[in-house]
Amino acid sequence: MKKHTLAWAALCFSVLMLTGCALFAQQSRSAAEEDTLALDPLTGEAARWPGQRPAAVFIDNGPEASRQWGIGEASVVFEALTEGENSTSLCLVYPSLEAVPKTGPVAQGRDLYLQLLACQQVIPIQRGATVYAANFEDYYEVLPLDALSLGIKGFTYEGVWGQPDQISWTTSGADLLPLADSAGVSLHVQPKTDPSSADSDASGGESTAKLPPLLPFGETANGKEGASSVELIFSPSSSTHFTYDEGTGQYLMARSDGSPQTDANTSTQAGFDNLLILYSAPSLRDDGYCWGYDLTMGAGVYLNGGSVWSILWMPGVDSTLAIYNSDGTALNIHPGTSYIALMGSVAGQEVILRDSQGTEMTAN
C-alpha cells in the first residue's frame, strides 16, 4: 500500500529534476519555516487536515452536466480542453478525502491534472480513466478510488431514463472513507524515498512528511487594477466567465451561456480568490483526439482582488509551481482558493479581460 504513495514522491522528484529543481532540498529549518510547512498546501491557509493526502475528483463539464456538486467547496479547480474541440474537463481538489462533499458527476481521470498535482500525492477519484491517465496511474502505481471497480459501494447512481451514464454518478468522502483501506489507498502523506530523510519513520509509525505548497503563497505585490471580468474561450462551444465581486473579494464563475456556475449542494454561485490562466504549448497525442500540454514553463495571467498581473510560470523549488512577474521577479500568490486554467494555441482559444465599463484591457 505504501509503495503507491511513495511513487507520487518519486514522480514529483523526477519532474522537478528535469527542470533542474530540487524540491525537497536538505537544509535545517527554522521554527518559522516549520510553521509555514504546516499550512494547507492547496490554499496557503491554516491546515485543517495536516498530514493527509488531498483528493482530486474528476467531474464532467459537458453541456449535459448542468448540475455539478462540490465545485463551490473545492480548494482548487483545474480546467482545460483535454479531448476534442468541444467541452473542457474539470478537476476539483480538496485537502483530504474526509473534506470531499457530495461531488459529481464523476468523470474519467485525466493525466494532465495528475501531472500538475504529482507533488501533492493526490488520491484520484474517477469513473474510469482515459488511456493516458490509466497508463500514468499504472506506471507510477497510483491507486484511484474508481466507480468502475467500487460501484454502488462508494458511488451513487442518480441517472434517469435517457440520461447519459457519464453524468449519473456522484460520491462523497463519507461514502469513500470506509473503502479506502480495502482499496489499498493510504490517506496519509508519505515521505520522500530518501531513507536518510528526517521525515522517514523507520519504526513504521505514522509519517510526519509534509507536502510542498502547490503555489508560492505569500503577500502579493501590487498589480494592474481595474480587472473586473475575464472570459476564457476554450473552444467555439466552451467558455468560462468570471466577474469580480468586491463584496466577497472573489471571482464568481459562470458557464458558457452566461448562467451562474452554481454548486448543486448549496445552490450558490462558485467563486475563487485567485484566478491563474497558464499558457502552454498543446499538441494532439497519437490518438489524434486527446491533448497533451508542455508543463515545463510558459506565460500567463494572474488575477486577485480586482487586479491583474502578466506572469511567467514553471516548476518551482519551494512550491510545485513558481510564479514570476513578466520582468522575471518572483511573485507570490495570495492565500485562498484558486481556479487554474491551462490554455494554449488551440484554434479559437482566447482570454478576454475587461474593466468595470466592459472595455477590453491587457494585463501589462
Question: Which DSSP state fits 210?
Answer: -
Q: What is the pLDDT of residues 157-188, one digit of tens each?
A: 988 877 777 788 999 999 999 999 999 999 99
In whole angstroms, give the CA distance from residue 312 to residue 215. 13
pLDDT above 50 (res 206): no
Give the CA distances from residue 292 to residues 197, 278, 284, 285, 312, in Å, rounded to whole numbers and listed in that order: 34, 14, 6, 6, 20
Of 13-22, 57-66, 200-209, 269-278, least confident by mean pLDDT is: 13-22
CB 283 within 8 Å of CB 345: no
Position 242 confidence tier, pLDDT thresholds 50, 70, 90: very high
The residues near 40 (Cβ < 8 Å, ≥ 6 apart) are 46, 47, 48, 75, 95
* pLDDT of the residue at 193: 59
Of 85-94, 105-114, 206-215, 291-300, least confident by mean pLDDT is: 206-215
Query: Taking residues 118-136, what's their average pLDDT?
Result: 96
* pLDDT of the residue at 158: 87
pLDDT above 50 (res 129): yes
Q: Which pTM does this prediction carry?
A: 0.88
Which structural domains are found in the chain, ordered by start?
Answer: 2-25+48-180 (3.50.90.10), 224-361 (3.50.90.10)
Query: Taking residues 249-270, what's their average pLDDT?
Result: 95
Query: Taking residues 314-318, what's their average pLDDT?
Result: 94
Smallest CA-to-CA distance from 239 within 229, 249, 247 is with 229
The alpha carbon torsion through 168, 284, 135, 53 (nearest 10 deg) reads -70
Q: What is the pLDDT of residues 269-308, one digit of tens each?
A: 999 999 999 999 889 999 999 999 999 999 999 999 999 9
In which residue are the cell numbers 474517477 written? 126
- Dihedral angle sign, alpha carbons of residues 14, 15, 18, 21: negative
Rg (CA), the chain: 20
CB 261 within 8 Å of CB 255: yes
DSSP 305-342: TTEEEEEEEEE-SSSSEEEEETTS-B--B-SS-EEEEE
Q: What is the pLDDT of residues 321-364, one digit of tens each?
A: 999 998 899 999 999 999 999 998 777 899 999 998 999 989 87
Q: Residue type for 54, please?
A: P
* pLDDT of the residue at 284: 92
Position 217 confidence tier, pLDDT thresholds 50, 70, 90: very high
DSSP 83-109: BTTS--EEEEEESSSTT--SBB-B--B
Smallest CA-to-CA distance from 97 within 122, 75, 117 is with 122
CB 299 within 8 Å of CB 363: no
* pLDDT of the residue at 49: 94
CB 170 within 8 Å of CB 155: yes
Position 208 confidence tier, pLDDT thresholds 50, 70, 90: low
- DSSP bridge partners of 263: 268
